[in-house]
Structure 1
C-alpha cells in the first residue's frame, strides 16, 4: 500500500500496516474528530484521529523507528471515544486519559490482535506498555511523535503553520539521541515551542472551541442520566452518537445552535463573561542535541523559557467565554 500524507509525503507500507489501517478498529477513527466538539462550531476544524494516527506512524518511520514501534504509533489512539477528549470532561477524568484506561479492553475485543497474529506479531508484545516506545511517547515537556504530529498537523490544517517552514523543520530540525527525539538547534526548539503554544492558546483555549466542548459535554452528561445513551455508545463514531442525541428534540435544537455559535460567542474577560473554563496545563521544553547530549531548550534559550512562563500563566487563568442567546 502506498500512502500520501500532507506532512510526510509518500510512503510504501508493509502488509501488516496496510491491513491494520484497513481494520474496523482504525477505520472507526475516521469518524472521530481529533478536536472533540470543535467541528460543530467550525467545520474547518475537522482533522480525524485516523489521520493523526497514520501521521504518528509515519513520523516514527521517518525517524528510524522499528516496525513494532510504527505499529504502536498507528494504534496508540485506537480506543479514543467519540468526540475525543470531550469524554474526559463527561467522565471527570482530570488527566484526560479515559481512552488510555480503556485501551487494553478495547483492543482485546477488536480485530487488531488477529491481524497482528497473522503477521507473526503479538499485541501483548507491542501495545500495552508505551514506555518501551521512546519515540512514540514521552512525558511533557519532552518531544515525542504524538506531540509533534498533532502540533504540526493542526497548525497546517488550521492556518497558523507554514508548509515550507514545517517541511524544513522535519528535514533539518529533528534528530534522535539515545532513543529520544531532540531538536538539532535551539532555534528549531524555539520555532516548535512557538507553534505549540499557538496551538494551545489559539486553538485549545479558543472561546468558540471551549464553548463547544462545554455545551456538548453537558448534553452528553444529561443523556447518560436520562439513559438515552450508555457508556458503550462513546465507542461509536461522532456521527452515530450525534444521531442518538438528536432523538431528544431539545438536544437537537442545541446542536443546531452550535452551528451558528460563531455569531454569538466571543472572548470575555474577568469582568464580563458567561462562564469560565480552565483546561489541562500543557507546556513544552524540547531537548536539544548538543555534542551528543540532550539539553533542555530552556537552558539555551530565554525565549523558550519566557514562552513557557507566559503560556502557563495564560492556561492557569483559563478561558472567559461570553455567549449570547
Structure 2
C-alpha cells in the first residue's frame, strides 16, 4: 500500500495490521471530521481533516524510527474525535477540551479495531497508554509527533510555508530515549514562531472563533430541543449537520444561515458578540548541545522567551469578535 503525504513524502506500507486499520470504518470516518472544527464552514480553504492528521502522525513516527506499535497508536490517537472536533467541547462546556479522550475507550470497543489488533498480536491496553511512547505524545512544552504534525500541516496548507523549510526542520529533529529535541537554536526559533502562528494566529483568528461559537450555538439549540443526542456527536461533520437541517426548525435555520462563507467579522472588546478563550498551549523545545546535554530553547533565545510571553497573554485574554 502506497501513501503519498504532502509533508513527509511517499511511504510503502507493507504491514497488514496498518493496512487493515486504515480501512476500518472508524478511521475512514475521520475523513469527514475537520481538524479546525467549524473553520471550513466560514472559510473553505481551512479544510484539513483528522484523517490527514492521524495518518501524518503515523508517518512522522515511522520517519523518526518509532516501533510498529507506536505507529499504530499514532494512527489511532484521534479516532474518538467527535464531529467538528473541539467544538463539541464548547457545547459540553469541557474546559480541558478532552471529551474525545473521555470516550476513547468506548469508541474503540464499538469498532472492529480490537479484533484486528488481537488477530495480529497487539495488546490494546498497552497501545493506548501514552506513557509508553516517546514520539507520539509528550507533555507541554515539549515537542511530540501530535503537535508537530498539526502545526506543520496547517501552516503548510494555510500559510504556505515553503516545503523545503519543513524538510530542513525535520532533518534538525533528534530522538534519543524519551527526549525529542532540535539540533540548533535556529531550528527551535523557526518552529516556535510557526507554533504560535498556529495556536494564536490561526486557532484564535476572529473568523475561526466566530465559526466555532456560532456552530456551538447551533449544536446547543439542536441538543436542547432534542433534535440530536449525545451519541450523534460521534457522527462525521456533514452527517451531524444533515440531521440538524432535517429538523426544519426555524430558529435552527436562522442560526445555520449565519455560518456563511467568508462572513465579515472584526475584533471588538467593547461591543463583542462572541468570546472564546482557548486552552493554554505553549512550546519550549529542548536543544541538544554539543556536549550531549539538553537546554530549554527559552534559556538560549530571548526571541523565544518574548514570543512565549506574548502568546500566553493573548491566550489568557481570549478573542472578542462581532460581525462587521
TM-score normalised per structure 1:
0.95
Structure 2 portions without partners, runs of 5+: none
User: Is it true that 1:6 corresponds to 2:9 in the alignment?
Assistant: no
- Please say if residues 177 and 293 of structure 1, whose CA atoms lie closer than 8 Å, have aligned partners that are also in contact: no
Aligned partner of 1:93 in structure 2 is 94
Q: Separation in 2 of the partners of 1:163 and 1:10?
A: 14
**8 Å Cα contact 1:33/1:238 also seen in 2:** yes
Partner of 2:138: 138
Q: Secondary structure of 2:59's partner?
A: helix
Q: CA deviation at 1:123?
A: 1.5
Whole-angstrom distance in 1 between the partners of 2:198 and 2:185: 20
Q: Structure 1 residues 88 and 168 mapped into 2: Cα distance closer, same or farther (>3 Å)? A: same
Structural mapping, 1:1-325, within 5 Å: 1-13=1-13, 14-127=15-128, 129-170=129-170, 172-247=171-246, 248-260=249-261, 262-268=262-268, 270-290=269-289, 291-324=291-324
Name the CA distance, whole Å, in 2 between partners of 1:205 and 1:273. Answer: 15
Corresponding residue pairs, total: 320
Determine the C-alpha separation between the residues in 2 that align with 1:136 and 1:102: 19
Distance, in Å, in 2 between the alignment partners of 1:21 and 1:29 is 11
Q: Distance in 1 between matches of 2:176 and 2:293?
A: 7
Report the Cα offset of residue 158 of structure 1: 0.7
Structure 2 CA distance for partners of 1:287 and 1:44, relative to 1, 3 Å: same
CA displacement, residues 6-64 of structure 1 (integer Å, 9 cap, x when unaligned): 00001111111111011111000001000001111001101010000000000011111
Q: Judge conservation of contact 2:214–2:258 (CA < 8 Å) in 1.
A: no
Q: TM-score, normalised by structure 2?
A: 0.95
* C-alpha distance 86-263 of structure 1, shift in aligned 2 (>3 A): closer
Q: Is the 8 A contact 2:213 2:274 kept in 1?
A: no
Deviation at 1:160, TM superposition (A): 4.5
* Contact kept? 1:177, 1:292, Cα under 8 Å: no
Query: Whole-Å Cα distance in 1 between the matches of residues 219 and 273 of structure 2?
Result: 20
Residue 305 (structure 1) shift? 0.8
Q: After superposition, what is the alpha-carbon deviation per residue over 1:77-108, rounded to whole angstroms, capped at 9, x for unaligned?
A: 00000000011111111111100111111101
Checking the alignment, whether the CA contact within 8 Å between 2:192 and 2:283 is kept in structure 1 is yes
